[in-house]
Every structure is written in structure tokens, then in C-alpha cells.
Amino acid sequence: EKGGYASFMLKEIAEQPKAVADTLLGRIDASGSLTLDEVRISAAELREMDKVVIVACGTAFHAGLIAKYAIEHWTRIPCEVELASEFRYRDPILDQQTLVIAISQSGETMDTLMALRHAREQGSKVLAICNTNGSTIPRESDAVLYTHAGPEVAVASTKAFLTQLVACYLVALYLGQVRGTKWGDEIRAVIRDLARIGDAVEQVLGTMEPVRELARSLAAQDTVLFLGRHVGYPVALEGALKLKELAYMHAEGFAAGELKHGPIALIEEGLPVVVVVPSPRGRSVLHDKIVSNIQEIRARGARTIVIAEEDDEAVVPYADHLVRIPATPTLLQPLVATVPLQVFACELATARGNEVDQPRNLAKSVTVE
């Protein structure tokens, strides 16, 4: 059932272009608009929403962090993202004008379920983004947008994460569509780019051999750090989480701008640091700043592993290892930038002799609080 792959995780990483395409299927009409009839919250209600709150755990939480950038940019609705396990214990401000989005692959995570129950008790509408038909979280929500990743067996989430991102982008764009905010050529262009993104993921998958080799060479390391900015910051967090889960290594993700406020003290000779570089087009200020960050850590001895778009020449002099990804609109970049990090963690874990599908101490769905 692993279809010739050594692990479910490798199989699921390889299935990502299809998972992404399947999650878009039937949701974009011929005119390039979104048809999300399954979101059974009326357009009138969605127009009334004045805040979005996303609750999730683990990898799904990282999808939520990325969604915030898209939702606020495309809809101008304030969006908060919170760990489901923290949410209800701090008396959050919720009402009928709050749209709560609960993201969960399994649909059974108790922390997320308790958070959504709390939100509904306060009168908020809950939209679930879920990969498991008929599971508890969608059953208890007002509406559900299913991700179509297919069954995910490996404990560490890969294809479900990419489809959660796609679903979050769809919700953000749909909110923009029904509310008429920023609707127009920019959004249509994004929808077109989204429809093509599976090919970009496929392209990344075809170039992963050097990443595998690099991962194997790092098997004896104790620590790997990950840096990113903007949507690359949650990608860095996700890269670090994968390494913790699978390789049992000390791995931390930081916002690159925070380096100077503390983490730079960790940099020492030979320390591997993975840097997710934003597109040199678009928000180029961020790009320039992260290139400076790469210079700073390299000057202090870090071994830099740089994930950058294919036309980005500025990073070349400072990259000990350069991983190329296709040029992608900034907000969509996580869909391609995460893939090398998944491969990196999977290969590193395997090189350390770990069982990647069933990491120690973890369960696929955690049904206790």
C-alpha cells in the first residue's frame, strides 16, 4: 500500500501535486471565480464578519499562520491565529461577527474541537477546514471546506498541510469575492497562479536529490535553525517542527528580523541554518533584509542552506547550499518552499535510523486535551 515507496511519508510527499489539484477541483469556475457552495455560511453573513479567528494545532496551526497574511491582505479583515489549546482558556473576544476557522487534518483533535465548541457557545460561526469526511470537527461546525489530500497515514503531516494552505487561500479569496474587497485583476491573477501551482510543486519534487544528500551529511548534527520572513516565517516554523517530530533534533524556527534581538547569539561555527528567502520581486525590501541576515550569520560561521527562487542571484555568494524553487507569487510561496523542508526532515530522520511514519511519542490524531 506504500506504492513502492520506502515510507508512507515519502509517498505522501510525492502525492502533493495531486492533492493540491484535487483540493482546487470544481472550486474555480470557467470565468475564474470561486464556487464554494459547500461553505454553508451565507454571503450576507460573511459580509457582516468583522474578524477572523483561526484555531488549530501543530502543522495545521502553521497553515493558519500563513492564512493570516492572505486573509488580511486580500480582504482587509483583521485575522488572529491561535493555538487551539490556548484559545478558550483566555476568555477570547467572540461574537456573531467573528468567523472562526478550525483547521484539522483528522477532524478529531480534542484541543481544536474544544476551541470550536467554545466559539459556537459565544455565538460565532465556525468553518472547518478538514481532510476527513464526517469526522467530529466538521460535524460540529457550521460549515466545512474539505481538503482532498486523501488519507494521510504518516504521523507528520505533509500533503494535508499543502491542501490546508490551498483551502485557506480559497477561503481568503472567497471572502474577498463575496465582500468585493480588492476584487479584480490582482485576485484573478492569484486564482490563475493557484490553478498552476501543482506544476511548481511537481518541479520542486523533481530536484530534491541534492537536498537528500545534504540531509544525510547532517545526520550527526545536534541543532538546525530555520529563518524566514513574512509567510516564510511560518514555513521556517514548519521546517523546524518536521525536524523535531522526525529526526528528534533540536530545531527552531525564527522570524529573521528577530535574529538581532537574541537568536543570533546561538550562531557558531558550522551550525546549519536553513533560510527561506522571499521572492526578489514584489516585496523586495524583505528580500534585501533577509540577504543581509544571511550575510550576518555566515560571517559568524553558520553553514547556510538557502531556499530561494530560481531567478534570485543576490543570495548566491552567501549560500553554502542553494535550493532552488520556482518563482511564485509571495503569498503562495509556502506551497513550494515547504516541500524541500519536508524532504530534508524525512531524509535526515532516515539517516539517523528513525522510523519516519511512526515517530516516537506521537500519534496521528490526539483525542485528549
Q: Shortest Cβ distance from residue 117 to ligand BG6 (Å)?
A: 15
**Residues forming a β-bridge with 254:** 227
Q: How far is CA 345 from CA 1, 199, 252, in A?
A: 22, 22, 13
Cβ proximity of 226 and 237 under 8 Å: yes
Residue 102 in contact with ligand BG6, rule: CB under 6 A = no
Q: Is 239 or 280 the residue whose CB approaches ligand BG6 more closely?
A: 239
Contacting range for ligand BG6; rule: CB under 6 A; set: 28-36, 98-106, 210-218, 228-236: 98-106
Rg from Cα positions in the chain:
20
Q: What is the 3-state secondary structure (H, E, C) of the chain?
A: CCCCCCCHHHHHHHCHHHHHHHHHCCCECCCCCECCCCCCCCHHHHHHCCEEEEEECHHHHHHHHHHHHHHHHHHCCCEEEEEHHHHHHHCCCCCCCEEEEEEECCCCCHHHHHHHHHHHHCCCEEEEEECCCCCHHHHCCCEEEECCCCCCCCCCCCHHHHHHHHHHHHHHHHHHHHHCCCCCHHHHHHHHHHHHHHHHHHHHHCCCHHHHHHHHHCCCCCEEEEEECCCHHHHHHHHHHHHHHHHCCEEEEEEHHHHHHCHHHHCCCCCEEEEECCCCCCCHHHHHHHHHHHHHHHHCCCEEEEEEECCCCCCHHHCCEEEEECCCCHHHCHHHHHHHHHHHHHHHHHHCCCCCCCCCCCCCCCCCC
**How crowded is the C-beta side of 205, counted as CA atoms within 13 Å?**
18
Residue 36 in contact with ligand BG6, rule: CB under 6 A = no
Residue 57 in contact with ligand BG6, rule: CB under 6 A = yes
- Residues in the interface with ligand BG6 (CB under 6 A) total 15
The residue within the footprint of ligand BG6, chosen from 155, 343, 348, 356 (CB under 6 A), is: 155
Q: Is 12 or 312 the residue whose CB approaches ligand BG6 more closely?
A: 12
Positions in 337-366 near ligand BG6 (CB under 6 A): 362, 365-366
Contacting range for ligand BG6; rule: CB under 6 A; set: 55-63, 68-76, 86-94, 167-175: 55-63
| Residue 304: all three cell numbers together | 547556510
Q: How far apart are CA 235 and CA 243, in angstroms?
A: 13
**Is 11 noted as a catalytic residue in this protein?**
no
Q: Is 58 or 340 the residue whose CB approaches ligand BG6 more closely?
A: 58
The residue within the footprint of ligand BG6, chosen from 156, 162, 205, 246 (CB under 6 A), is: 156
Positions in 264-293 near ligand BG6 (CB under 6 A): none
Cβ proximity of 108 and 365 under 8 Å: yes
Q: Is 238 or 347 the residue whose CB approaches ligand BG6 more closely?
A: 238
Q: Shortest Cβ distance from residue 14 to ligand BG6 (Å)?
A: 18
Q: Shortest Cβ distance from residue 135 to ligand BG6 (Å)?
A: 9
Residue 98 in contact with ligand BG6, rule: CB under 6 A = no
Positions in 103-122 near ligand BG6 (CB under 6 A): 104-106, 109, 112
Residue 326 in contact with ligand BG6, rule: CB under 6 A = no
Q: Which member of 51, 244, 289, 364 is catalytic?
A: 364
Q: Is 316 or 362 the residue whose CB approaches ligand BG6 more closely?
A: 362
Q: Is 75 or 157 the residue whose CB approaches ligand BG6 more closely?
A: 157
Positions in 215-244 near ligand BG6 (CB under 6 A): none
Contacting range for ligand BG6; rule: CB under 6 A; set: 150-158, 194-202, 223-231, 279-287: 150-158
The residue within the footprint of ligand BG6, chosen from 16, 59, 177, 328 (CB under 6 A), is: 59
The residue within the footprint of ligand BG6, chosen from 10, 14, 34, 60 (CB under 6 A), is: 60
The residue within the footprint of ligand BG6, chosen from 157, 279, 304, 350 (CB under 6 A), is: 157
Residues forming the active site: 364
Q: Point out which residues bind ligand BG6 (CB under 6 A).
A: 57-60, 104-106, 109, 112, 155-157, 362, 365-366
